[in-house]
């Protein structure tokens, strides 16, 4: 018999994967339990509802990926390189998912947020919180780039918002067209927004 901690972790992972792969509305508690090999009684021991599971699953996903973000945006790395690495990381991650599931999955936070933001406040608030955390990394890198005089933008907060909006929009477009190769343009698009200055040799 699986230990309680293992059972809960399995539910969290399966829920995140299923919701990201398809949609929140199309995935039932039964689907999650079947894929996780867990009975519904165990599910309701840990979570009151599918929404509660989704909120915790997305929080857990962020926690697991935060070390990756910390590495990509290390202060030891030049600021523009941090952003370039992030763009490549997004492309590689979406390509891996597309190869696994047969379609582009897009941004996990934007996907569920756009789907249920007007229906479930807990999920909307969690998506907003996690989005803001991600944007803070961009904001910090842009602030350092401004100090290093390698970009033309002046306001790191406004620039980070524009970058984030364009990146999420491109992820949505790649999902709609089911074409991960659109994301090869992430890096040049972001550099254009920032007014990245050419490196003098």
pLDDT of residue 71: 97
Model confidence pLDDT, tens digit, residues 81-127 = 999 999 999 999 999 999 988 999 999 988 898 898 889 999 999 99
Q: What angle do CA 152, 153, 158 make, to 5 degrees?
A: 170
Predicted pLDDT of residue 117: 85
CA separation, residue 101 to residues 18, 25, 106, 195 (Å):
10, 18, 12, 36
For helices 29-36 and 4-21, angle between their N-to-C axes, nearest 10 degrees: 120
The CATH number of the structural domain formed by 1-65 is: 1.10.10.60
Written as six digits, the tokens of 103 are 């379609």
Predicted TM-score (pTM) above 0.85: yes
Confidence at residue 5, expressed as pLDDT on a 0 to 100 scale: 65
Fold of the CATH domain 73-201: Tetracycline Repressor; domain 2 (1.10.357)
pLDDT at 9: 92
Predicted local distance difference test score (pLDDT) of residue 199? 59
Judge whether residue 4 has pLDDT over 70.
no
Q: Cα(109)–Cα(172) distance, rounded to whole angstroms?
A: 11
The dihedral formed by the CA atoms of 34, 116, 56 and 92, expressed in degrees to the nearest 10: 80
* In the chain, where the domains are located: 1-65, 73-201
What is the distance between the alpha carbons of residues 103 and 30, in angstroms, rounded to a whole number? 23
What average pLDDT is seen over the chain? Answer: 92
């Amino acid at each position: 018999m699986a230990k309680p901690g293992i059972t809960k972790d399995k539910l969290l992972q399966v829920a995140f994967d299923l919701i990201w792969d398809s949609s929140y509305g199309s995935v039932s508690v039964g689907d999650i339990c079947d894929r996780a090999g867990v009975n519904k009684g165990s599910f309701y021991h840990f979570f009151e509802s599918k929404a509660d599971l989704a909120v915790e699953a997305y929080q857990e996903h962020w926690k697991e990926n935060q070390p990756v973000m910390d590495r990509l945006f290390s202060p030891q790395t030049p600021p523009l390189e941090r952003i370039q690495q992030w763009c490549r990381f997004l492309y590689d991650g979406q390509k891996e998912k597309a190869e696994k599931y047969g379609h582009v999955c897009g941004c996990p936070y934007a996907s569920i947020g756009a789907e249920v933001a007007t229906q479930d406040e807990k999920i909307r608030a969690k998506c907003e919180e996690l989005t803001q955390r991600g944007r803070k990394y961009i904001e910090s890198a842009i602030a350092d780039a401004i100090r290093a005089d390698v970009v033309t933008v002046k306001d790191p907060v406004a620039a980070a918002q524009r970058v984030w909006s364009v990146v999420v929009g491109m992820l949505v477009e790649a999902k709609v067209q089911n074409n991960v190769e659109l994301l090869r343009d992430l890096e040049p698009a972001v550099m254009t927004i920032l007014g990245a200055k050419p490196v003098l040799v």
